[in-house]
Structure 1
Amino acid sequence: MAEAVEIIRRPKLSRNHLSPSDYRHLSSAAMRARCEISRGPIWVRDAFTHCVCSSCFMAFEIREGFMDAAAPEARDGTQFPLAVDLDRTLIRTDSLVEQFLTVFCRLPWRAAKTLLKLREGKAKFKEAVIELSTFDPDVLLFNEDLLEYLHAERERGRPLHLVTAADQRLADIVAERVGIFESASGSCQGHNLKGKNKLNHLEERFPDGFSYAGDDVSDLVIWRKAKSAVLVGVSNSTRKAVKAMDCAVELDIPRQKAGLRAWARLLRIHQWSKNILIFIPLILGQAIFDPRALLPVLLGFLAMGLAASGTYTINDIADIASDRAHRTKRRRPIASGAIDAGHALMVAMALILAGVALIGTLSLSAGGLLLLYLAGTLSYSFKFKREPMIDIFILGSLYTIRIVIGAVLAGMTFSHWLLMFSFFFFFSLSMAKRHVEIVNAASGSDRVLPIKGRGYITSDAPLTLCTGVGTNLVAILILSLYVAQDIYPQNLYDNPEWLWGIVVMVMMWSLRIWFLSHRGVLNDDPVSFALRDRTSLIMGAVVVGLFALSVI
C-alpha cells in the first residue's frame, strides 16, 4: 500500500507562470497521478500542494489518502520500460543533419562523397558522416522538460532505454553523457533502426510490452504497439492519431516554434546597414537625387541584403559547435535550437539565388562582383576565418567590394583613392573586432590561450594592436590624399574645405573604436556598435552636417 491522492482541479496555468521548482516529481503516489484532462503526469512543487499537469498546465491540489500503488500504473502504462528516441526528442535538433552540414562546411568534398553511401542505405550514410565528424556531446541541446521527466521516472525505478535511428556510436556517446539509460541501441552494420525496424527491435527486446517517447510521424507504427506514449514536439495530426489509438499519453511536450523575431535574428536584418556603402559613390558624386542612378542602387541594396542574409545563415550553420560553447553566441537561433539547421540552409540558398538573380538583371558586371563577394564571404566562413591575418584581409576586401558594386550600378567611375581608403579603413575596423576577442580571452590568465574558432592566441594582442592602429592611420592619410588629389580638382563641391572636418571626425571616431577595443569593452562589430552608440551617432550627425556645408 502507498499514499494515494485526491485531485481537485484548479484554474489552468501557463508555462510562463511556472518557476523551475514546479518541474519536480515526488517519490510517492502523487508522482504517478494523472491529469483527468490530458492524462499527463502531475508534477509537484511542495509536499502535496501547488501541483500542475506537465502537459496541459492545469493546476491541482492533492490531498493524502491510501490506495494500491499498482492501480494507476496499470491504467497509464508507466510500469513498462520506456524507450526514448534521440533526434528531436531527447535532444531538440537532428544530429545527422547538423553533423553532415558541419562536416560539409569543413570538408566539402569528403562530405559530398558520403552522399554516395545512400546507395547502400541510410545506415551506411550515417556511418560515413560520423567517421568524418568530431562529435562533442557537451554541445548537445537536450530537451530539459523531457530530461526532468526521465530522471523522475528513473528515480522511481522505471527502466529507460535509448533507442534511436542515429548511428550506434553516437547512441553510446549520448547514453554515457546522460547516464540514466540501461542500454543504447542505434543503427549499425547497414541496419537503419527506424520505423518498422525499430518496432521489431522493441518487440523482440521487450516482449511483455514497452512505452515509447518520440516526435515523428514515422513513430506512429511504434505507438500502435506501445502501452503508452511520450509525445515530444509532434504535429497536431500526429497527436490526434496517437490519441485515437489504444495508447495512453503519459506526457505531451509541445515544440516551441520559431517566430519572425527568431528568423530576423538569424538573417541579421540589422546587418543590412553595412550595405549602405553601395550608396557612397552616389553621395560623393552628388547623384543621390538622380532617379536613373538611384533606382538600380536601391535594387542592388536589396539584392545584396538578401545574399548577405543567406551567407550569415550559412556561417551560423558552420559555427554550430563553436557558437554553443560561446558565452553569448549560444543564443543564436540555430545554436539554441530555435531554428532547424536544415530548414535554415534551404532558406539561405533561396535568398542567395534571389539576390544574385535580382542584381544580375540590373548589371552582369555587378552580378559578377556579387558572386565574388559571395565567394569571399563563404570561403571566410568555411576556411579562412581560422587563418590569422588572411581573415582580416578578406573582411576588408568585402567592404570595398560593396563600394565597387555601388559605382557599377550607378554607372559612375570610382576613385582609386577611395577604394584604397576603404580597404585600409575596414581592415583596421575588422582587426579591432579580433583584437577585443584576444584581449577578453587573455584577461584573468597569464597563460597563452588559443582563441576558439580563430587562428589567434592571446599573446598576439601586441601584434593586432600595432597592425590595426597602423592601418587606421594609413587609411586617414589616404582619405586626406583623396580629398586633396581627387575631390578638389573635380570642382564638384562649392566649399570643399569643409571636407577636412570629415577627415578629422573619421580619425577621432576610428581611434575611439581602437581605444574601446583595447580596453575590451567593444562588444560588437564596430559598424553595428556605431549604430547603437550615442557618441558615434553624434559624430555621424556632425559628418552629415559638414558634408552638407561642403555642397551648399
Structure 2
Amino acid sequence: MMRDSSTTDRILAVDLDGSLIRGDMIYECLWSAMALDWKAPFIAARSLSRGIPALKRRLAELGPVDVTTLPYDPEVIARIEAWRAEGGRTALVTASDQMLADQVADHLGLFDEVHGTTPDRNLKGEAKAALMAERFGDHFTYIGDSTADLACWKVSGAAITVGATAKFRAQVDGINADVTHISPPEAPVWPILKAMRPHQWLKNLLVFMPIIADHSFSALTFFQGLLAFIAFGLVASAGYLLNDLLDLGPDRAHARKRFRPLASGRLPVPLGTAMVPVLLIAGHLVALTLGWAFVGVIALYFCITMSYSLFLKRKPIIDICVLAGLYTIRIIGGGVATGIDLSIWILAFSIFLFFSLAAVKRLAELVHMRDSGRVAAAGRGYSVEDLPLTMQMATASGFVSVLVLALYLNAPDIQARYSAPVLLWGVCALLLYWVSKAVLVASRGEMHDDPLVYAVTNRTSLICILIMAALGAGAMLL
C-alpha cells in the first residue's frame, strides 16, 4: 500500500525485540533469572502448561531486567523522536510481556500507548497485525525486524525494517510498496570472535608446560599439545559466553565491560546463547581425539567454569581459588593429553601463581569501585573494605610461587636437566619483580580488567616475559 502523501501518518508503531533494542526480552529475562537462581528456567518451564504468554510473564517476574541499560538502537530512537517532533503519535507494540513493555516505555518517555503480551494474549504475528489494524486502520508505519512482522506490514501504510538481510528486505518489498530499510546488519564475524575472547586462549598455552618441564620435545607431543590447546580454547570460549550472558546486567553498568559484544548488543543475545552449545560440543569432539581421560578433564573444566559463572563468582575467596584452579587444570590437561607425569612442584607453583593473578584481578576491580565511589561490586561478594586484604593475598601468594619455583629448580634431578642451571635463578628474580609490579599497578588503578591482557600488552611486562624465556632457553642450550 502507498502512503497517502496528503495525509501524513499519525501513528508510528514500533516493535521492541530486535528493533527498538538490539536483543530479545525473553532471552534477557532468561539470563537475568539464571544469574539470580540457576533453577529459574525449570521453575519458569512449569508455566508452559498455561501457554507461551504465561511463560513470558513468569520469566519477567523471575528475571527482572534493568531497562535503563538495554542496548537501544540509536537510529530507531532518533526516528521516534523525529516523528514526535513533527506532531505524530507513537505506539510500542511488542510480543514481549506487557509488564516489560510498560517499563521500557516509562523509561524512554517516547510512546503515547503501549501494547504487549498479556497472560491471555500472545501479541505476535497475526495477533499483532489484527490489533494494529483495528486500532490504526492502515494509516500507520510499522518498524520491525523479523518474519513474524510480515503480517503487520501487510496491513500497514508503510514499512521500516531494522537490521534485515537482503533476502528479508526483498520479502518486505514484495508486500509493502512504501518501505524504508535502516541499520544494515553488521557482519557478525567480528562480534562473535571478540565474544569468544581469542586473546584468552593464551592461557591455554599452559597445556605445553608439562612438555617444557619434561623436555619432551617431539612432533607427537607437540601435536597432542596443540589438540589440547584447541579443545580448551573452544570450551573456554563457551564458558566466556556463558559468563557474559549471565553478567549482562552488571556488564552494562560497568564503564568498560558495557562495550562487550553481548552487553552492547553488537552480538544478539539469542545468537550468543546458541553459540554456547556449539562451541562446547566442538571442544569435546576435539578432546575425544586425545582419549576419554582428557575428555573427562575438559568436562571437569567446563563444569567448574559453569559453577563459577552461576554462583561461585559471588562467593568471596572461593572465586579466587576457582580461578586459580582453572589455570592449573590446563596444566593437568596437558599432562593427560601427552601422557607426561606432572611434578607436584609444578602444580604447587601454578596454584600459588594463579591465585595471585586472580587476586590481582579482584584488586583491580576493587580499586575501580573505590575510585568510582561505589561500595559493593555488582554480582560479586566484595566491598571496598576488602581492598587491603585482597592486596595482601595477591602479594603473599605471588611471593610463595617464586619460593616454590626456586625450591623446584634447586632439586638435583632438575639441575641435572640443564647445562647452565644458574641462569634459572634469573627467572625467579624477574618473576618476583613482575608479581610485585602487577600488584603495584593494580593498586594504582592502572591494571586492565584482566591481568593477562596487562601481561601481553604492557611494555615492561613483555620485556620480563621475553627475558625469562631467553634465560630458560639459555639454561637448556648453553
TM-score (norm 2): 0.95
CA distance in 1 between partners of 2:390 and 2:459 (Å): 27
Give the aligned residue type for 2:295: G
Tell me the secondary structure at the aligned position of residue 342 of structure 2. Answer: coil
2:367 paired with 1:459 = no
1:480 equivalent in structure 2: 406
> Do the aligned partners of 2:133 and 2:156 also contact (CA within 8 Å) in 1?
no
- Is the alpha carbon distance of 1:408 and 1:226 closer, same or farther for their aligned partners in structure 2, counting shifts above 3 Å? same
**Cα distance per residue 1:229-280 (max 9 Å; x no partner):** 222223333322333335423x421333234322221111111111111111
Contact 1:77 1:228 in 2 (8 A): no
CA distance 1:240–1:551, change in 2 (3 Å): closer
SS at 2:88's partner residue?
A: coil
Name the amino acid aligned to 2:450.
Answer: D
User: Who is 2:305 aligned against?
Assistant: 377
The amino acid of 1:295's aligned partner reads F
Report the secondary structure of 2:95's partner residue: strand
Name the amino acid aligned to 1:378.
M
Deviations 1:361-402 (A, max 9, x none): 312222211111111111111111121111100011111111
Task: Find the residue that maps to 2:96 and give its secondary structure.
Answer: strand
**1: CA distance between counterparts of 2:356 and 2:210?**
21
Aligned residue number for residue 551 of structure 1: 476
Report how far residue 420 of structure 1 moved. 0.8
1:484-499 correspondence runs (5 A): 484-485=410-411, 487-488=413-414, 491-499=416-424
Unaligned runs of 5+ in 1: 1-38, 40-72
Q: State percent identity of aligned pairs.
A: 35
Q: Gaps spanning 5+ residues in structure 2: where?
A: none
Determine which of 144, 153, 163 is the counterpart of 1:233. Answer: 163
CA 1:76 to 1:175, structure 2 compared with 1: closer, same or farther past 3 Å? farther
1:86-121 C-alpha deviation (Å, 9 max, x unpaired): 111111211112221332344232212323433432
Hey, what does 2:370 align to over in structure 1? 442
After TM superposition, the structure 1 stretch with the greater mean CA deviation from structure 2, 538-547 or 459-468, is: 538-547
Conservation of the 8 A alpha-carbon contact between 2:405 and 2:428: yes
**Deviation digits for residues 22-65 of structure 1, max 9, x if unmatched?**
xxxxxxxxxxxxxxxxx9xxxxxxxxxxxxxxxxxxxxxxxxxx
Query: 1:516 corresponds to which residue?
Result: 441
Deviation of 1:207 after TM superposition, in Å, equals 4.2
Q: What SS class does the counterpart of residue 19 from structure 2 fall into?
A: helix
Residue 263 in 1 paired to residue 192 in 2? Answer: yes
Residue 39 of structure 2 corresponds to 109
Q: CA deviation at 1:145?
A: 1.0
- Aligned partner of 1:55 in structure 2 is none
Question: Are 2:74 and 1:144 equivalent residues in the alignment?
Answer: yes
Aligned match of 2:294: 366
RMSD value, Cα:
1.9
Paired with 2:176 and 2:371, the residues of 1 have a C-alpha distance of 60
**TM-score, normalised by the number of residues in structure 1:** 0.82
CA offsets per residue over residues 451-497 of structure 1, 9 Å max, x none? 222211111111111111111121111111111236447x2222322
Whichever residue aligns with residue 393 of structure 2, its letter is T
Which residue in the other structure is 1:223 paired with? 153
The answer to whether the 8 Å contact 2:23/2:270 transfers is no
Structure number with higher relative contact order (C-alpha < 8 Å, ≥ 6 residues apart) = 2
Q: Distance in 1 between matches of 2:273 and 2:53?
A: 23
* Matching residue of 1:161: 91
Paired with 1:140 and 1:262, the residues of 2 have a C-alpha distance of: 17
How many residues align structurally?
Answer: 476
Q: For 1:100, which of 1, 10, 30 is the aligned residue?
A: 30
Distance 2:372 2:238 in 1: 37
Please give the alpha-carbon distance, in whole angstroms, between the structure 2 residues aligned to 1:493 and 1:182. Answer: 78
Aligned partners of 1:463, 1:279: CA distance in 2, in Å?
33
Give 1:415 shift. Answer: 0.8
- The structure having more radius of gyration, on CA atoms, is 1
Measured at CA, do residues 108 and 549 of structure 1 come closer, stay the same or move farther in structure 2, by a change above 3 Å?
same
More helix by share: 2
Separation of aligned partners in 2, 1:186 and 1:548: 66
